[in-house]
A and B are shown apart, each in its own frame.
Chain A
Amino acid sequence: MAALHFFANPARFRRFSQRVLPALWVVTALALTIGLYWGLVIAPPDYQQGDTVRIMFLHVPTASLSMAGYLLLAALGASLLVWRHPLAGLMARAAAPVGATYAAVCLITGSLWGRPMWGTYWVWDARLTSFLLLFFLYLGHIALSRAYDDSERGDRAAAILAVVGAINVPIIKFSVDWWNTLHQPESIMRLGGPAIDPSLLWPLLWMMGAMALLFVALVLLRTETEIDRRRLEIAENQD
Protein backbone atom coordinates (compact mmCIF):
# COMPACT_ATOMS: atom_id res chain seq x y z
CA MET A 1 0.00 0.00 0.00
CA ALA A 2 2.83 2.37 0.89
CA ALA A 3 4.58 1.54 -2.39
CA LEU A 4 1.33 2.22 -4.20
CA HIS A 5 1.25 5.78 -2.89
CA PHE A 6 5.00 6.27 -3.22
CA PHE A 7 4.80 5.71 -6.97
CA ALA A 8 1.77 7.92 -7.43
CA ASN A 9 4.23 10.45 -8.82
CA PRO A 10 5.33 9.33 -12.31
CA ALA A 11 8.54 11.37 -12.11
CA ARG A 12 9.51 9.61 -8.87
CA PHE A 13 8.68 6.25 -10.44
CA ARG A 14 10.83 7.15 -13.44
CA ARG A 15 13.83 7.98 -11.23
CA PHE A 16 13.36 4.72 -9.34
CA SER A 17 13.03 2.59 -12.45
CA GLN A 18 16.02 4.24 -14.15
CA ARG A 19 18.13 3.32 -11.17
CA VAL A 20 16.81 -0.26 -10.95
CA LEU A 21 16.53 -1.20 -14.63
CA PRO A 22 20.25 -1.54 -15.59
CA ALA A 23 20.84 -3.99 -12.74
CA LEU A 24 17.61 -5.78 -13.55
CA TRP A 25 18.65 -6.26 -17.20
CA VAL A 26 21.94 -7.83 -16.09
CA VAL A 27 20.21 -10.20 -13.66
CA THR A 28 17.56 -11.08 -16.26
CA ALA A 29 20.13 -11.83 -18.98
CA LEU A 30 22.13 -13.96 -16.55
CA ALA A 31 19.04 -15.83 -15.33
CA LEU A 32 17.82 -16.48 -18.90
CA THR A 33 21.24 -17.70 -20.04
CA ILE A 34 21.55 -20.09 -17.10
CA GLY A 35 17.93 -21.23 -17.43
CA LEU A 36 18.12 -21.87 -21.16
CA TYR A 37 21.45 -23.73 -20.87
CA TRP A 38 20.08 -25.78 -17.97
CA GLY A 39 16.82 -26.57 -19.75
CA LEU A 40 18.09 -27.07 -23.29
CA VAL A 41 21.47 -28.73 -22.65
CA ILE A 42 21.90 -30.09 -19.13
CA ALA A 43 18.42 -31.38 -18.34
CA PRO A 44 17.92 -35.01 -19.43
CA PRO A 45 15.44 -35.81 -22.23
CA ASP A 46 12.10 -37.05 -20.94
CA TYR A 47 11.68 -40.87 -20.88
CA GLN A 48 8.45 -40.52 -22.85
CA GLN A 49 8.59 -37.26 -24.77
CA GLY A 50 12.31 -37.19 -25.55
CA ASP A 51 13.84 -33.84 -26.43
CA THR A 52 10.49 -32.21 -27.30
CA VAL A 53 9.89 -31.84 -23.57
CA ARG A 54 12.35 -28.91 -23.69
CA ILE A 55 9.64 -26.80 -25.32
CA MET A 56 8.09 -26.85 -21.86
CA PHE A 57 10.81 -24.52 -20.54
CA LEU A 58 9.42 -21.72 -22.65
CA HIS A 59 5.80 -22.89 -22.91
CA VAL A 60 4.92 -23.27 -19.23
CA PRO A 61 6.47 -19.99 -17.98
CA THR A 62 4.82 -17.96 -20.75
CA ALA A 63 1.50 -19.66 -19.96
CA SER A 64 1.56 -18.81 -16.23
CA LEU A 65 2.98 -15.35 -16.78
CA SER A 66 0.44 -14.36 -19.42
CA MET A 67 -2.34 -15.35 -17.02
CA ALA A 68 -0.62 -13.51 -14.16
CA GLY A 69 -0.13 -10.59 -16.55
CA TYR A 70 -3.87 -10.34 -17.12
CA LEU A 71 -4.46 -10.36 -13.36
CA LEU A 72 -1.89 -7.55 -13.14
CA LEU A 73 -3.89 -5.63 -15.77
CA ALA A 74 -7.06 -6.17 -13.72
CA ALA A 75 -5.31 -5.02 -10.51
CA LEU A 76 -3.90 -1.95 -12.28
CA GLY A 77 -7.35 -1.32 -13.76
CA ALA A 78 -8.95 -1.51 -10.32
CA SER A 79 -6.41 0.87 -8.78
CA LEU A 80 -6.95 3.30 -11.66
CA LEU A 81 -10.72 3.18 -11.19
CA VAL A 82 -10.77 3.20 -7.39
CA TRP A 83 -7.82 5.43 -6.42
CA ARG A 84 -7.33 7.15 -9.78
CA HIS A 85 -3.71 6.10 -9.43
CA PRO A 86 -1.90 8.13 -12.11
CA LEU A 87 0.72 5.51 -12.84
CA ALA A 88 -1.69 2.55 -13.11
CA GLY A 89 -3.03 3.52 -16.54
CA LEU A 90 0.45 4.08 -17.91
CA MET A 91 1.68 0.79 -16.53
CA ALA A 92 -1.36 -1.14 -17.82
CA ARG A 93 -0.74 0.34 -21.25
CA ALA A 94 2.89 -0.80 -20.98
CA ALA A 95 2.07 -4.28 -19.65
CA ALA A 96 -0.71 -5.32 -22.07
CA PRO A 97 1.49 -5.85 -25.17
CA VAL A 98 4.06 -7.76 -23.07
CA GLY A 99 1.31 -10.05 -21.77
CA ALA A 100 -0.11 -10.47 -25.27
CA THR A 101 3.33 -11.44 -26.56
CA TYR A 102 3.75 -14.01 -23.78
CA ALA A 103 0.31 -15.43 -24.61
CA ALA A 104 1.27 -15.60 -28.30
CA VAL A 105 4.58 -17.34 -27.51
CA CYS A 106 2.66 -19.77 -25.31
CA LEU A 107 0.17 -20.55 -28.12
CA ILE A 108 2.96 -20.96 -30.70
CA THR A 109 5.21 -23.16 -28.53
CA GLY A 110 2.11 -25.12 -27.50
CA SER A 111 1.19 -25.94 -31.06
CA LEU A 112 4.82 -26.82 -31.91
CA TRP A 113 4.74 -29.19 -28.92
CA GLY A 114 1.32 -30.52 -29.89
CA ARG A 115 2.46 -31.64 -33.32
CA PRO A 116 4.90 -34.37 -32.18
CA MET A 117 2.93 -35.19 -29.00
CA TRP A 118 -0.66 -35.25 -30.16
CA GLY A 119 -0.10 -35.39 -33.92
CA THR A 120 -1.76 -32.04 -34.52
CA TYR A 121 -0.88 -28.37 -34.27
CA TRP A 122 -4.23 -27.35 -32.92
CA VAL A 123 -7.28 -28.94 -31.30
CA TRP A 124 -10.40 -27.21 -30.02
CA ASP A 125 -9.73 -28.32 -26.49
CA ALA A 126 -10.92 -26.30 -23.50
CA ARG A 127 -7.48 -25.10 -22.38
CA LEU A 128 -6.28 -24.14 -25.86
CA THR A 129 -9.49 -22.37 -26.77
CA SER A 130 -9.69 -20.44 -23.52
CA PHE A 131 -6.05 -19.42 -23.95
CA LEU A 132 -6.80 -18.15 -27.44
CA LEU A 133 -9.57 -16.10 -25.82
CA LEU A 134 -7.08 -14.71 -23.31
CA PHE A 135 -4.96 -13.57 -26.27
CA PHE A 136 -8.03 -11.86 -27.78
CA LEU A 137 -8.81 -10.21 -24.42
CA TYR A 138 -5.28 -8.76 -24.46
CA LEU A 139 -5.79 -7.54 -28.04
CA GLY A 140 -9.10 -5.94 -27.03
CA HIS A 141 -7.40 -4.19 -24.11
CA ILE A 142 -4.57 -2.90 -26.33
CA ALA A 143 -6.96 -1.74 -29.06
CA LEU A 144 -9.35 -0.06 -26.61
CA SER A 145 -6.64 1.80 -24.68
CA ARG A 146 -5.33 3.24 -27.96
CA ALA A 147 -8.70 3.97 -29.60
CA TYR A 148 -9.15 7.47 -28.17
CA ASP A 149 -7.47 10.75 -29.01
CA ASP A 150 -7.42 11.38 -25.27
CA SER A 151 -5.08 8.72 -23.80
CA GLU A 152 -6.50 8.97 -20.29
CA ARG A 153 -9.96 8.19 -21.61
CA GLY A 154 -8.55 5.06 -23.27
CA ASP A 155 -6.79 4.03 -20.06
CA ARG A 156 -10.01 4.23 -18.05
CA ALA A 157 -12.08 2.32 -20.64
CA ALA A 158 -9.41 -0.39 -20.83
CA ALA A 159 -9.33 -0.54 -17.03
CA ILE A 160 -13.05 -1.42 -16.90
CA LEU A 161 -12.52 -4.05 -19.60
CA ALA A 162 -9.58 -5.59 -17.70
CA VAL A 163 -11.60 -5.87 -14.48
CA VAL A 164 -14.56 -7.54 -16.26
CA GLY A 165 -12.29 -9.75 -18.39
CA ALA A 166 -10.46 -11.07 -15.31
CA ILE A 167 -13.42 -13.47 -14.89
CA ASN A 168 -11.87 -15.45 -17.74
CA VAL A 169 -8.58 -16.13 -15.93
CA PRO A 170 -9.87 -18.67 -13.38
CA ILE A 171 -11.83 -20.31 -16.21
CA ILE A 172 -8.55 -20.82 -18.10
CA LYS A 173 -6.70 -21.93 -14.99
CA PHE A 174 -9.20 -24.62 -14.11
CA SER A 175 -10.36 -25.58 -17.60
CA VAL A 176 -7.98 -28.55 -17.55
CA ASP A 177 -9.56 -29.87 -14.35
CA TRP A 178 -13.17 -29.16 -15.32
CA TRP A 179 -13.11 -30.53 -18.84
CA ASN A 180 -11.25 -33.77 -19.28
CA THR A 181 -9.73 -33.25 -22.69
CA LEU A 182 -6.49 -33.76 -24.59
CA HIS A 183 -4.43 -31.28 -22.57
CA GLN A 184 -2.62 -32.91 -19.65
CA PRO A 185 -3.83 -32.03 -16.14
CA GLU A 186 -1.94 -29.63 -13.93
CA SER A 187 1.38 -31.20 -12.87
CA ILE A 188 3.21 -28.52 -10.86
CA MET A 189 0.79 -26.64 -8.60
CA ARG A 190 -1.28 -29.51 -7.29
CA LEU A 191 -2.13 -31.17 -4.00
CA GLY A 192 0.39 -33.83 -3.03
CA GLY A 193 3.38 -32.10 -4.61
CA PRO A 194 4.57 -31.79 -8.19
CA ALA A 195 4.23 -34.84 -10.43
CA ILE A 196 7.34 -34.06 -12.39
CA ASP A 197 10.92 -35.29 -12.02
CA PRO A 198 13.23 -32.90 -10.10
CA SER A 199 15.76 -32.95 -12.97
CA LEU A 200 13.12 -31.23 -15.13
CA LEU A 201 11.25 -29.38 -12.38
CA TRP A 202 14.20 -27.27 -11.19
CA PRO A 203 15.17 -25.82 -14.58
CA LEU A 204 11.46 -25.22 -15.20
CA LEU A 205 11.06 -23.25 -11.97
CA TRP A 206 14.28 -21.39 -12.78
CA MET A 207 12.93 -20.46 -16.23
CA MET A 208 9.69 -19.28 -14.61
CA GLY A 209 11.72 -16.92 -12.46
CA ALA A 210 13.83 -15.76 -15.40
CA MET A 211 10.80 -15.12 -17.62
CA ALA A 212 9.12 -13.27 -14.74
CA LEU A 213 12.20 -11.03 -14.43
CA LEU A 214 12.06 -10.38 -18.17
CA PHE A 215 8.37 -9.51 -17.85
CA VAL A 216 9.05 -7.03 -15.04
CA ALA A 217 12.03 -5.47 -16.88
CA LEU A 218 10.02 -5.03 -20.09
CA VAL A 219 7.08 -3.52 -18.22
CA LEU A 220 9.34 -1.06 -16.34
CA LEU A 221 11.09 -0.03 -19.57
CA ARG A 222 7.80 0.39 -21.42
CA THR A 223 6.30 2.35 -18.53
CA GLU A 224 9.22 4.79 -18.70
CA THR A 225 8.62 5.18 -22.43
CA GLU A 226 4.91 5.65 -21.78
CA ILE A 227 5.59 8.42 -19.25
CA ASP A 228 7.76 10.21 -21.83
CA ARG A 229 5.15 9.70 -24.55
CA ARG A 230 2.42 11.10 -22.30
CA ARG A 231 4.57 14.16 -21.55
CA LEU A 232 5.04 14.76 -25.27
CA GLU A 233 1.31 14.41 -25.81
CA ILE A 234 0.58 16.99 -23.11
CA ALA A 235 3.23 19.34 -24.52
CA GLU A 236 1.73 19.02 -27.99
CA ASN A 237 -1.76 19.79 -26.73
CA GLN A 238 -0.52 22.93 -24.99
CA ASP A 239 0.56 24.56 -28.25
Chain B
Amino acid sequence: MAIVALFLRDLRLVWRRPGDVAVVLAFFVIATVLFPLGIGPEANLLARIAAGVLWAAALFASMLSLDRLFAADYEDGALDLLLLAPWPLELAALAKCAAHWVVTGLPLAVLAPLIGLAFGLDDRSLAVLALTLLVGTPALSLIGGLAAALTLGARRSGALLALLALPLCVPTLIFGASAIEATATGESFVVHVAILGALALVALATLPWAIAAALRQAGE
Protein backbone atom coordinates (compact mmCIF):
# COMPACT_ATOMS: atom_id res chain seq x y z
CA MET B 1 0.00 0.00 0.00
CA ALA B 2 2.90 2.28 0.74
CA ILE B 3 3.93 1.77 -2.89
CA VAL B 4 0.53 2.95 -4.11
CA ALA B 5 0.87 5.97 -1.83
CA LEU B 6 4.30 6.73 -3.35
CA PHE B 7 2.86 6.38 -6.85
CA LEU B 8 -0.06 8.70 -6.03
CA ARG B 9 2.30 11.18 -4.34
CA ASP B 10 4.39 11.42 -7.50
CA LEU B 11 1.27 11.95 -9.58
CA ARG B 12 0.03 14.63 -7.16
CA LEU B 13 3.37 16.43 -7.32
CA VAL B 14 3.07 16.55 -11.10
CA TRP B 15 -0.58 17.57 -10.89
CA ARG B 16 0.38 20.61 -8.83
CA ARG B 17 2.90 21.70 -11.46
CA PRO B 18 1.19 20.80 -14.74
CA GLY B 19 3.67 22.99 -16.62
CA ASP B 20 6.35 20.29 -16.31
CA VAL B 21 4.29 17.83 -18.35
CA ALA B 22 3.08 20.52 -20.76
CA VAL B 23 6.70 21.42 -21.60
CA VAL B 24 7.52 17.80 -22.44
CA LEU B 25 4.47 17.44 -24.69
CA ALA B 26 5.18 20.81 -26.32
CA PHE B 27 8.74 19.62 -26.99
CA PHE B 28 7.35 16.47 -28.64
CA VAL B 29 5.06 18.51 -30.90
CA ILE B 30 7.75 21.02 -31.86
CA ALA B 31 10.35 18.30 -32.53
CA THR B 32 7.99 16.45 -34.86
CA VAL B 33 6.83 19.64 -36.60
CA LEU B 34 10.45 20.47 -37.49
CA PHE B 35 10.58 17.52 -39.90
CA PRO B 36 7.91 18.68 -42.39
CA LEU B 37 9.41 22.16 -42.16
CA GLY B 38 12.91 20.87 -42.82
CA ILE B 39 12.16 18.17 -45.39
CA GLY B 40 9.27 19.84 -47.20
CA PRO B 41 5.55 19.13 -47.27
CA GLU B 42 5.61 16.21 -49.72
CA ALA B 43 2.78 14.00 -48.45
CA ASN B 44 4.08 10.54 -49.48
CA LEU B 45 7.51 11.12 -48.00
CA LEU B 46 6.03 12.43 -44.74
CA ALA B 47 3.74 9.42 -44.37
CA ARG B 48 6.74 7.14 -44.93
CA ILE B 49 8.97 8.75 -42.30
CA ALA B 50 6.16 9.47 -39.80
CA ALA B 51 6.64 6.28 -37.78
CA GLY B 52 10.35 6.83 -37.21
CA VAL B 53 10.00 10.55 -36.57
CA LEU B 54 7.21 10.12 -34.02
CA TRP B 55 9.00 7.31 -32.21
CA ALA B 56 12.33 9.11 -32.09
CA ALA B 57 10.63 12.29 -30.87
CA ALA B 58 8.78 10.32 -28.20
CA LEU B 59 12.14 8.90 -27.10
CA PHE B 60 13.68 12.38 -26.81
CA ALA B 61 10.62 13.74 -25.02
CA SER B 62 10.72 11.00 -22.41
CA MET B 63 14.48 11.60 -21.89
CA LEU B 64 13.76 15.28 -21.33
CA SER B 65 11.43 14.59 -18.43
CA LEU B 66 13.63 11.98 -16.77
CA ASP B 67 16.40 14.00 -15.16
CA ARG B 68 14.06 15.12 -12.37
CA LEU B 69 12.69 11.61 -11.72
CA PHE B 70 14.91 10.90 -8.70
CA ALA B 71 16.82 14.19 -8.48
CA ALA B 72 14.21 16.06 -6.41
CA ASP B 73 13.98 13.20 -3.90
CA TYR B 74 17.78 12.94 -3.85
CA GLU B 75 18.19 16.63 -3.06
CA ASP B 76 15.49 17.02 -0.39
CA GLY B 77 16.33 13.77 1.42
CA ALA B 78 13.17 11.86 0.51
CA LEU B 79 15.39 9.27 -1.17
CA ASP B 80 17.11 8.53 2.14
CA LEU B 81 13.69 7.80 3.64
CA LEU B 82 12.89 5.48 0.73
CA LEU B 83 16.18 3.67 1.38
CA LEU B 84 15.30 3.24 5.06
CA ALA B 85 11.68 2.26 4.41
CA PRO B 86 10.68 -1.29 5.43
CA TRP B 87 9.49 -2.22 1.93
CA PRO B 88 11.71 -3.18 -1.01
CA LEU B 89 13.43 -0.34 -2.82
CA GLU B 90 12.74 -2.22 -6.08
CA LEU B 91 9.01 -1.58 -5.62
CA ALA B 92 9.64 2.10 -4.94
CA ALA B 93 11.70 2.32 -8.15
CA LEU B 94 8.88 0.62 -10.02
CA ALA B 95 6.28 2.99 -8.53
CA LYS B 96 8.27 6.05 -9.56
CA CYS B 97 8.81 4.74 -13.11
CA ALA B 98 5.10 3.91 -13.33
CA ALA B 99 4.24 7.47 -12.29
CA HIS B 100 6.67 8.78 -14.93
CA TRP B 101 4.97 6.61 -17.53
CA VAL B 102 1.50 7.88 -16.58
CA VAL B 103 2.53 11.51 -16.97
CA THR B 104 4.67 11.14 -20.14
CA GLY B 105 4.24 7.78 -21.93
CA LEU B 106 0.47 7.80 -21.72
CA PRO B 107 -0.04 11.42 -22.92
CA LEU B 108 2.47 10.80 -25.72
CA ALA B 109 0.50 7.75 -26.87
CA VAL B 110 -2.66 9.90 -26.93
CA LEU B 111 -1.01 12.87 -28.61
CA ALA B 112 1.04 10.98 -31.24
CA PRO B 113 -1.94 9.91 -33.42
CA LEU B 114 -2.94 13.59 -33.76
CA ILE B 115 0.52 14.41 -35.08
CA GLY B 116 0.43 11.23 -37.20
CA LEU B 117 -2.78 12.55 -38.77
CA ALA B 118 -0.94 15.70 -39.81
CA PHE B 119 1.80 13.49 -41.33
CA GLY B 120 -0.86 11.77 -43.44
CA LEU B 121 -0.90 8.33 -41.77
CA ASP B 122 -4.02 6.26 -42.48
CA ASP B 123 -6.47 5.25 -39.72
CA ARG B 124 -5.03 1.76 -39.27
CA SER B 125 -1.47 3.09 -38.94
CA LEU B 126 -2.65 5.69 -36.43
CA ALA B 127 -4.21 2.99 -34.27
CA VAL B 128 -1.04 0.87 -34.46
CA LEU B 129 1.07 3.93 -33.63
CA ALA B 130 -0.94 4.52 -30.45
CA LEU B 131 -0.73 0.79 -29.63
CA THR B 132 3.06 0.61 -30.08
CA LEU B 133 3.56 3.66 -27.91
CA LEU B 134 1.29 2.22 -25.21
CA VAL B 135 3.22 -1.07 -25.23
CA GLY B 136 6.69 0.38 -25.76
CA THR B 137 6.86 3.48 -23.57
CA PRO B 138 6.91 1.54 -20.27
CA ALA B 139 10.30 0.15 -21.39
CA LEU B 140 11.48 3.69 -22.12
CA SER B 141 10.40 4.87 -18.67
CA LEU B 142 12.30 1.98 -17.01
CA ILE B 143 15.48 2.34 -19.09
CA GLY B 144 15.38 6.09 -18.56
CA GLY B 145 14.74 5.49 -14.87
CA LEU B 146 17.96 3.46 -14.67
CA ALA B 147 19.91 6.22 -16.44
CA ALA B 148 18.35 8.81 -14.12
CA ALA B 149 19.31 6.78 -11.05
CA LEU B 150 22.86 6.20 -12.32
CA THR B 151 23.46 9.89 -13.01
CA LEU B 152 22.22 11.17 -9.63
CA GLY B 153 24.75 13.74 -8.45
CA ALA B 154 26.88 13.45 -11.60
CA ARG B 155 28.32 16.36 -13.52
CA ARG B 156 26.36 17.26 -16.71
CA SER B 157 23.79 14.65 -15.68
CA GLY B 158 21.21 15.63 -18.31
CA ALA B 159 23.42 15.00 -21.34
CA LEU B 160 24.96 11.95 -19.68
CA LEU B 161 21.50 10.51 -19.04
CA ALA B 162 20.71 10.64 -22.77
CA LEU B 163 24.08 9.06 -23.67
CA LEU B 164 23.38 6.14 -21.31
CA ALA B 165 19.70 5.59 -22.08
CA LEU B 166 19.44 6.11 -25.84
CA PRO B 167 21.63 3.14 -26.94
CA LEU B 168 19.61 0.86 -24.65
CA CYS B 169 16.34 2.25 -26.09
CA VAL B 170 17.24 1.44 -29.71
CA PRO B 171 15.58 -2.03 -29.87
CA THR B 172 12.33 -0.48 -28.60
CA LEU B 173 12.55 2.26 -31.23
CA ILE B 174 13.25 -0.24 -34.04
CA PHE B 175 10.34 -2.55 -33.24
CA GLY B 176 7.96 0.35 -32.49
CA ALA B 177 8.62 1.98 -35.84
CA SER B 178 8.71 -1.31 -37.78
CA ALA B 179 5.22 -2.25 -36.52
CA ILE B 180 3.84 0.90 -38.14
CA GLU B 181 5.93 0.30 -41.26
CA ALA B 182 4.53 -3.24 -41.50
CA THR B 183 0.96 -1.92 -41.23
CA ALA B 184 1.59 0.58 -44.02
CA THR B 185 2.85 -2.18 -46.34
CA GLY B 186 -0.11 -4.41 -45.51
CA GLU B 187 1.79 -6.93 -43.37
CA SER B 188 0.78 -8.03 -39.91
CA PHE B 189 1.96 -5.77 -37.10
CA VAL B 190 1.34 -8.43 -34.44
CA VAL B 191 4.88 -9.88 -34.43
CA HIS B 192 6.48 -6.46 -33.98
CA VAL B 193 4.10 -5.48 -31.20
CA ALA B 194 4.67 -8.85 -29.52
CA ILE B 195 8.46 -8.29 -29.53
CA LEU B 196 7.87 -4.77 -28.24
CA GLY B 197 5.77 -6.22 -25.42
CA ALA B 198 8.52 -8.77 -24.72
CA LEU B 199 11.09 -5.96 -24.47
CA ALA B 200 8.85 -4.08 -22.05
CA LEU B 201 8.36 -7.22 -19.93
CA VAL B 202 12.09 -7.96 -19.82
CA ALA B 203 12.67 -4.35 -18.73
CA LEU B 204 9.94 -4.75 -16.11
CA ALA B 205 11.44 -7.97 -14.80
CA THR B 206 15.05 -6.78 -14.56
CA LEU B 207 15.43 -3.02 -14.42
CA PRO B 208 13.71 -2.30 -11.05
CA TRP B 209 16.58 -4.28 -9.43
CA ALA B 210 19.21 -2.36 -11.38
CA ILE B 211 17.53 0.97 -10.53
CA ALA B 212 17.36 0.01 -6.84
CA ALA B 213 21.07 -0.92 -6.89
CA ALA B 214 21.87 2.44 -8.49
CA LEU B 215 19.77 4.30 -5.90
CA ARG B 216 21.46 2.43 -3.04
CA GLN B 217 24.92 3.40 -4.17
CA ALA B 218 23.74 6.99 -4.71
CA GLY B 219 22.48 7.04 -1.13
CA GLU B 220 25.76 5.81 0.38
Contacts and interface: CB of A to CB of B under 8 A. Distances in A.
Contact of A147 (B156, B170, B220): B156
Contact of B164 (A81, A144, A148): A144
Contacts of B146: 160, 164
Contacts, number: 63
Question: Which secondary structure dominates chain B's binding surface?
Answer: helix
Interface size class of B (residues with CB under 8 A): 20 to 34
A161 interface: yes
A156 B210 CA distance: 12
Nearest to B162: A140
B59 interface: no
Interface string A140-155: 1001100111000110
Interface in A14-66: none
A140 B163 contact: yes
Interface of B: 146, 150-151, 153-157, 160, 163-164, 166-168, 170-171, 206-207, 210, 213-214, 217-218, 220
Interface size class of A (residues with CB under 8 A): 20 to 34
A164 B156 contact: no
A47 to B, nearest CB: 37
Contacts of A161: 150, 164
A44 B10 CA distance: 67
Given A133-B170, A136-B166, 18 more contacts: A140-B160, A140-B167, A144-B160, A144-B164, A147-B154, A147-B155, A148-B154, A149-B155, A153-B153, A153-B220, A157-B150, A160-B146, A160-B150, A160-B213, A161-B150, A164-B210, A165-B167, A165-B168
Contacts of A148: 153-155
29 contacts: A81-B213, A129-B170, A133-B167, A133-B170, A136-B163, A136-B167, A140-B160, A140-B163, A140-B167, A143-B163, A143-B164, A144-B154, A147-B151, A147-B156, A148-B153, A148-B154, A153-B217, A153-B218, A154-B154, A157-B151, A157-B214, A157-B217, A160-B146, A160-B150, A161-B164, A164-B168, A164-B206, A164-B207, A171-B171
